[in-house]
Amino acid sequence: MSFLTLDHVSHHYFSKNNYTKALDNISFSVKDGEFIALLGPSGCGKSTILSIIAGIIKQTAGEVLLEGKLINDSDLAIGYMLQQDYLFPWKTIKENSLIGPKIGRSKTSEVENEALKMLKEVGLSNVANSYPNALSGGMRQRVALVRTLITDPKILLLDEPFSALDYQTKLKLEDLVSQLLRSYHKTAVLVTHDIGEAISMSDRILVMDSNPGSIAKIFEVPLELRNETPFLVRKHPKYQILFDRIWDELNKNESTSGQTKVVSNQNESQI
Partner 1 sequence: MNPKSDLYLFENYKNKLKREKKIIISWQVIILISFFAIWEIASRLYWVDPLLFSSPSKVVDLLISKFSDGSILPHVQVTLFETVLGFILGTILGIIIATLLWFSDRLSKIMDPYLVIMNAMPKVALGPIIIVALGPGYVSIIAMGAIISVVITTLVVYSGFREVDPNYEKVLKSFGASQIQCFKEAIFPATLPTMISTLKVNVGLSWVGVIVGEFLVSKQGLGYLIVYGFQVFDFTLVMSSLIVIAIVAGIMYKIVEKIESWLIKHTG
Verify binding: residue 72, partner 1, rule CB under 8 A. Answer: no
Instruction: Please report, for residues 26, 104, 128, the alpha-carbon distance to residue 110 in angstroms, rounded to integers and kept in the order given.
Output: 40, 15, 16
79, 161, 212, 213: which one binds partner 1 (CB under 8 A): 79
Mask of contacts with partner 1, 14-53, x by CB under 8 A?
-------------------------------------x--
Verify binding: residue 13, partner 1, rule CB under 8 A. Answer: no
The interface region with partner 1, picked from 17-25, 61-69, 85-93, 252-260 by CB under 8 A, is 85-93
The interface region with partner 1, picked from 96-104, 115-123, 191-199, 215-223 by CB under 8 A, is 96-104
27, 68, 69, 86: which one binds partner 1 (CB under 8 A): 86
Verify binding: residue 99, partner 1, rule CB under 8 A. Answer: yes
Q: Which spans of this chain sit near partner 1 (rule: CB under 8 A)?
A: 51, 54-56, 77-80, 82, 84, 86, 88-91, 99-100, 102-104, 131, 133, 151, 157
